[in-house]
Amino acid sequence: MKIDNFKVEDWFNEYEKLAKYDMADTCVESLSLEELFKIIGNKEEHLSKIMSRKLNYGDIQGSGRLHNAIRSLYNTDMPLTVTHGAIGANNLVMQSIIERGDKVVSVVPTYQQHYSIPKSLGADVKLVFLKEENGWLPDMEELKNVMGNDTKLVCMNNPNNPTGSVMPESMLKQIVEFAQVNGTYILCDEVYRGLEHNGDISKSITELYEKGISTGSMSKVFSLAGLRLGWIVAPEEVMDKIIIHREYNTISVSIPDDYFAALALENKEKIISRNLGKILEGKKIMSDWVKSEPHISWVEPKGGTTCLLKYNSSISSVDLCKKLLDNTGVLFLPASTLEMEGYLRAGYCSDVSKLKQGLELFSEWLG
Site residues, ligand PLP (CB under 6 A): 26, 85-87, 111, 157, 161, 189, 191, 217, 219, 225, 230
Residues 6+ apart with CB under 8 A from 146: 105, 126, 128
Residue whose CB is less far from ligand PLP, 214 or 328: 214
Helix (H, G, I), strand (E, B), or coil: what is residue 304?
A: coil
Q: State how far the Cα of 203 lies from the Cα of 194, in Å rounded to an integer.
A: 10
Supply the DSSP string of 228-284, one letter for each residue.
--EEEE--HHHHHHHHHHHHHHTS---HHHHHHHHHHHHTHHHHHHHHHHHHHHHHH
- Rounded to 5 degrees, what are φ and ψ at 149? -120, 25
- Smallest distance from the beta carbon of 219 to ligand PLP, in angstroms? 3
- Smallest distance from the beta carbon of 111 to ligand PLP, in angstroms? 4
- Smallest distance from the beta carbon of 197 to ligand PLP, in angstroms? 17
Helix (H, G, I), strand (E, B), or coil: what is residue 56?
A: coil
Residue whose CB is less far from ligand PLP, 194 or 289: 194
- Smallest distance from the beta carbon of 344 to ligand PLP, in angstroms? 16
The answer to whether 92 and 83 are in contact (CB under 8 A) is: yes
Residue whose CB is less far from ligand PLP, 225 or 324: 225
Q: Does residue 235 have a cis bond before it (omega within 30 degrees)? A: no
The answer to whether 223 and 38 are in contact (CB under 8 A) is: no
- Smallest distance from the beta carbon of 62 to ligand PLP, in angstroms? 15
Residue whose C-beta lies closest to ligand PLP:
85
Residue whose CB is less far from ligand PLP, 259 or 289: 259
Residue whose CB is less far from ligand PLP, 160 or 328: 160
Residue whose CB is less far from ligand PLP, 163 or 219: 219
- Smallest distance from the beta carbon of 144 to ligand PLP, in angstroms? 24
| CA 221 remoteness from chain centre | 9
